[in-house]
Chains A and B, each alone.
Chain A
Amino acid sequence: DAKTTQPTSMDCAEGRAANLPCNHSTISGNEYVYWYRQIHSQGPQYIIHGLKNNETNEMASLIITEDRKSSTLILPHATLRDTAVYYCIVRVGGGNTPLVFGKGTRLSVIA
């Protein structure tokens, strides 16, 4: 069972920042927060992951609250190509534990 809660859908205006929230109130101390997205009819694409510190890469920023019970994925300047389903997943780092997908958030970027 997925251990995260995400809104079903969100809209964002093109060029604006998209802020996607995720609740993971039962996260364990050794579990990381991973974000993936799936554009229609493609395999999931890795975006970013973090343990407790905020992280940033060329795609997005990940903000994790101090108590680690929630996080926000930020796409700083959304484009139409960012329209996808975004999945927030918690999992222990390393090892062979697979990613378990919930329903995710369907982000629609609107021109």
Chain B
Amino acid sequence: GAVVSQHPSWVICKSGTSVKIECRSLDFQATTMFWYRQFPKQSLMLMATSNEGSKATYEQGVEKDKFLINHASLTLSTLTVTSAHPEDSSFYICSAKEQAMTQYFGPGTRLLVL
């Protein structure tokens, strides 16, 4: 299947700082990318959908000014958690698909905010 990578795989930061997570589709062009987060013992929750060159569409309850998403190319999307706080600590997972293709997921980024 298609490969999606994320970087970094884990990050620890101080409260109030910003953290950027990269998501790349390695062997296909991702016209659409999705960002999810997962808290312990819970299922994945969709945060936002982004199409290349367009503004992201955020799910209800997700602050667009706090979670900045940029999908600047067909192989790269970034999620920036601005002014991170301990409650933002979570497992962030990106996903990508090309048109009619199956949706593939990255390995996830574990964020710990101290």
Could you tell me which A residues sit within 8 Å of B by CB distance? 34, 36, 38, 41-46, 49, 87, 93-94, 96, 98-104
Q: Which of B34, B95, B108 contacts A41 (CB 8 A)?
A: B108
**Which B residues from 44 to 97 make CB contacts under 8 A with A?**
44-46, 49, 51, 91, 93, 95, 97
Cross-chain pairs A/B with CB under 8 angstroms, 16 sampled: A34-B102, A36-B105, A38-B44, A41-B110, A42-B108, A43-B93, A43-B105, A44-B95, A46-B102, A46-B105, A87-B43, A93-B100, A94-B99, A96-B31, A98-B49, A102-B43
Q: Output the least CB separation between A67 and chain B (Å).
A: 25
**Which B residues from 14 to 52 make CB contacts under 8 A with A?**
31-32, 34, 36, 43-46, 49, 51
Contacting pair B43 A103 (CB below 8 A): yes
The CB with the most chain B CB atoms within 10 A, among A43, A46, A99, A100, is that of A43
> From A32, which residue of chain B is reached at the shortest CB distance?
B102
Chain A residues contacting B45 (CB-CB under 8 Å) are 101
Could you tell me which B residues sit within 8 Å of A by CB distance? 1, 4, 6, 31-32, 34, 36, 43-46, 49, 51, 91, 93, 95, 97, 99-100, 102-108, 110
Q: Output the least CB separation between B34 and chain A (Å).
A: 5
Query: In the complex where A41-B91, A43-B93, A46-B1 touch, is A101 in contact with B104 (Cβ < 8 A)?
Result: no
> Bound state CA distance, A103 and B43, in angstroms?
6
Contacting pair A101 B43 (CB below 8 A): yes
Q: Which of A41, A45, A49, A100 contacts B105 (CB 8 A)?
A: A45
> Bound state CA distance, A38 and B42, in angstroms?
12
> Bound state CA distance, A103 and B45, in angstroms?
11
Chain B residues contacting A103 (CB-CB under 8 Å) are 43
Q: Output the least CB separation between A37 and chain B (Å).
A: 11
Contacting pair A98 B43 (CB below 8 A): no
Chain B residues contacting A87 (CB-CB under 8 Å) are 43
